């Protein structure tokens, strides 16, 4: 019985850690670094929060594509340009970054800490 509990605990820990680990091939930047990059018009800025969250507070230049719509709307983005992704805390944008990489986007950047870290 103890063995099964340890195995279950290990699996839960693995899946939790897997969600927090940065995605391979995805650049991670802070909000301070983002401020320096916002002027670059050759990049695409995507906010994957809900419409309500986006309307309440957003960064000028970001386009709102909620995470649950991203798979269907990814074709609206250019695979030739870097995509910078933000959410509230960095969790959804990390998921979005993985999704974009799987869809063939080569240059994907996740904003660590998300809007919670934006000052």
Q: Which residues are part of the catalytic machinery?
A: 87
Q: What is the DSSP string of the chain?
A: -HHHHHHHHHHHHHHHHHHHSPPTTEEEE-HHHHHHHTT-TTEEEEE-S-HHHHHHS--TT-EE--HHHHHHHGGGS-TTSEEEEE-SSSHHHHHHHHHHHHTT-S-EEEETTGGGG--
């Amino acid at each position: 019985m103890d063995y099964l509990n340890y195995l279950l605990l290990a699996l839960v820990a693995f899946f939790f850690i897997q969600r927090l680990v940065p995605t391979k091939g995805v650049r991670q930047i802070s909000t301070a670094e983002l401020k320096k990059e916002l002027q670059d018009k050759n990049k695409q800025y995507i906010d994957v929060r809900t419409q309500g969250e986006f309307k309440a507070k957003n960064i000028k230049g970001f386009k709102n594509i909620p995470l649950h719509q991203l798979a269907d709307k990814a074709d609206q983005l250019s695979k030739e340009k870097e995509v910078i992704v933000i959410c509230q805390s960095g969790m959804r944008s990390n998921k979005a970054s993985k999704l974009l990489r799987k869809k063939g986007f080569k240059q994907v950047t996740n904003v660590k800490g998300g809007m919670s870290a934006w000052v």
